[in-house]
Structure 1
Amino acid sequence: MSDSLAVLIGDSSRLLRRRFDARARTLGVSRAQWQVLFALSRVEGINQAGLAEALDVETITVGRMVDRLADADLVERRADPADRRAWRLFLRPRAHPILEALRTIGADVMAETLDGLSDAEQEQLAGLLLRVRSNLTTPGAAAKASA
């Protein structure tokens, strides 16, 4: 059961990203780019190392992604007043309409994904997934819950 459940969760995540990616491409934004834009919209002013950690990628990878987004006038680097070697990252005004369009795409994709589920089922699914995520992000949470 757990193997098939793990595969089902993985497949659902992959298919959800694939559907979102296909729609986001119509805006000229790649997966890496929209992930950076969303992360920055949540924590503007983060440095590249923090962004790399948040995205679970190498700092050099984030540097290349930010280079492309800066070239497209979507992101800007500002000197970090606390560390001369670091840069803080901020969204440029041109990024905000793209983020709004991406949020609309996300809402549409989620509506398609949850089609046929009642409000109560959607709430139950969200609650269960929150617990699963908590079990995976909190060391020993699963062991404590079963005790």
Structure 2
Amino acid sequence: MPSQRLLSTLFLLFGAAACQGVLAGSYSAPMHSNKASTQLIEAASRQYEEGKLDQAAATLERALQIQPGNPATLHYLGVLRLEQGQYDQAEVLAVRSNQRVGRNTALRNRNVQLIQAAQKARSAGSVPVAGQGSHGDEHVEPLQLFR
């Protein structure tokens, strides 16, 4: 059975391509998918899979230099920031993504999950993990945000 990280990585790759295609018609997204940006997102996915979160974040930041304001890239960087414990930055990136998301409700919903996870982690002082927590609280596992 594939590992959780592998499944998340595959979703990241396919989700990035899908988000760019769906958003192409919205006023706030680029009209065409940028090949260099897509390659950087794929590289970040590989780095993420290898556990190199800092490198993956730097790669996504380079992708944002090519396509500033790309909502999918903002979301993925937000997920990485959440996993790095940078909760304020994760929330800011999700909000910025939602400002540019257009009609993509799936990405909007993932951003809402990311915002909630960042707020919950900030108040708890740790990254929320499914199945853990006191008083039976339900938590969102960060990797679920890529689905």
TM-score for the superposition, normalised by structure 2: 0.28
User: Relative contact order (C-alpha < 8 Å, sep 6+): which is higher?
Assistant: 2
Larger of the two Rg values belongs to structure: 1
Q: Which one has the bigger strand percentage?
A: 1
